[in-house]
Structure 1
Amino acid sequence: MPLTSRLATPADLAALTPLVDAAIGRLLSPWLDPAQVEASRAIMGVDTRLVDDGTYFVVEDDGALAGCGGWSRRATLYGGDHTEGRDDALLDPATQPARIRAMYTHPDHTRRGVGRLVLRRCEAAAAAAGFTRVELMATVAGRPLYEAAGYVVDEELSDSSTGVVIPLARMSRSLAPDAASPGPP
C-alpha cells in the first residue's frame, strides 16, 4: 500500500508525541552524543500552531503513523510548543520565505519516502499561498534529505540555549518551477 498523507487534526497530537520522541532519540543518536540528543528534545517538537493553521501533515504507511511535518507562514523557524522565543508574526510571501517546520519520520519508516512526501506537500501548499522560497532549520540527521531535495546551506550554526551545543544548518530553496525538485519518493 502506498504512503498516504493528510492534514493533521488536534486528534492526532497524542499519537505524534511518541513518534517525535522516537525520531529524536533513535535518528539523532548516530550523529550526536547522549547529552546532545537529550538537549534536542528541548529545542524540537510539534508546534500545535501549525495544526491550528492547517499547515501540518501526517503520513501513514499501510495505516501506521509514519511521519509528520508542516510549513508555516509565521516567523518561527524551529521549535515546539515548549520552545522559548517563538514568533507568530506573519511573513510576507513577496519578500520572505515560508518555513518548513517540525518534520519527523518514525525510525521504523525511514528510507521509504516519508520525508520527501512531507516536503512535496509543504512546498506545494506554500507555493499556493504565494511564497516563492522556503527555508528550514536542519538537524545533522535531516540534512542529507534536504540536500537531496535541492536545499542549500545558507548558514551553519548551533543552538546552545540548553547549555549543550547542538549543530544545525539553516537551509533554503526556491519554489520556482525551474528550481531543483524533490522528485518522487
Structure 2
Amino acid sequence: MKYTVRTAFASDISRIKILIEKSVRGLSAYDYTQEQIEGALLSAWGLDTQLIKDETYFVVETENLLIGCRGWSYRATLFGNDRKKDRNPDILNPAINSAKIRAFFIKPRYARKGIGSMIMQQLARSCRNQILRTPLDDTKRPRLRSSLDTRTCP
C-alpha cells in the first residue's frame, strides 16, 4: 500500500475531525474510560486549526483515504483543539523555546504500521524548513521535543 504525507489544507478539516474522533475512540479505549475520552475530545484532543493556517499540520493518505494526522507548533499553546479556552497564539522565542510536537492520530486499522513515524519525519523536515525561513543562527534553532527526538533540528 502506498502512503502519501502532505501538508493539511482547510478543505481537510472535516475529514481530519472525523479521523481524530475515530482514532481516539478506537485506540484510547484500553487506557481511558468512555467519559474521559469524550471529555478529552471537547478540549485536549482534537484539531487546532491554527496549525493548518501555519502550514505545520500534516496528513497521511492512501487511495484518497485520510489515515493519519499530526502537527508541530511554534506558538505558546501546548495542546488542545479550537474549543480549548486558554489558548495562546503568541509565537515562541526560538532562542529559548522548543518547537512543540502536537498530538497525532491514526485511523485504528492502520495503527502500528509506521504511519506516526512517517509523519514525524515530515515534521522534522518542516521544522528545518521553517528555520531556514527564519533569520536564526545555529545556536538559536527551535528544537523538536518529543518522546522520539529531543535533539536540535538538524
Q: Give the alignment's TM-score, normalised by structure 1.
A: 0.72
Partners of 2:61 and 2:67 within 8 A in 1: yes
Q: 1:174 is paired with a residue of what secondary structure? A: coil
2:54 is aligned to 53
1:29 is aligned to 29
Q: Write the letter of the residue equivalent to 2:36.
A: Q
1:81 aligns with 2:82: yes
Q: Write the letter of the residue equivalent to 1:5.
A: V
Query: Aligned equivalents of 2:37 and 2:45: distance in 1?
Result: 10
Structure 1 segments, 4+ long, off by >3 Å, are none
Query: Aligned equivalents of 1:127 and 1:75: distance in 2?
Result: 19
Q: 1:122 is paired with a residue of what secondary structure? A: helix
1:70 is aligned to 71
CA RMSD of aligned residues (A): 1.6
Partners of 2:124 and 2:153 within 8 A in 1: no
Q: Give the alignment's TM-score, normalised by structure 2.
A: 0.85
Partners of 2:142 and 2:153 within 8 A in 1: yes
Give the unaligned 5+ runs of structure 1.
Answer: 137-145, 151-172, 178-185
Partners of 1:70 and 1:100 within 8 A in 2: yes
Q: Per-residue deviation at 1:132?
A: 3.9
Query: Aligned equivalents of 2:40 and 2:82: distance in 1?
Result: 14
Q: Per-residue deviation at 1:11?
A: 0.5
Q: Write the letter of the residue equivalent to 2:16.
A: L
Q: Percent identity?
A: 32
Larger relative strand fraction:
1
Q: Per-residue deviation at 1:176?
A: 4.9
1:13 is aligned to 13
Aligned residues: 144
Q: 2:78 is paired with a residue of what secondary structure? A: coil
Query: Aligned equivalents of 1:121 and 1:53: distance in 2?
Result: 15
Larger relative helix fraction:
2
1:134 is aligned to 144
Partners of 1:132 and 1:174 within 8 A in 2: no
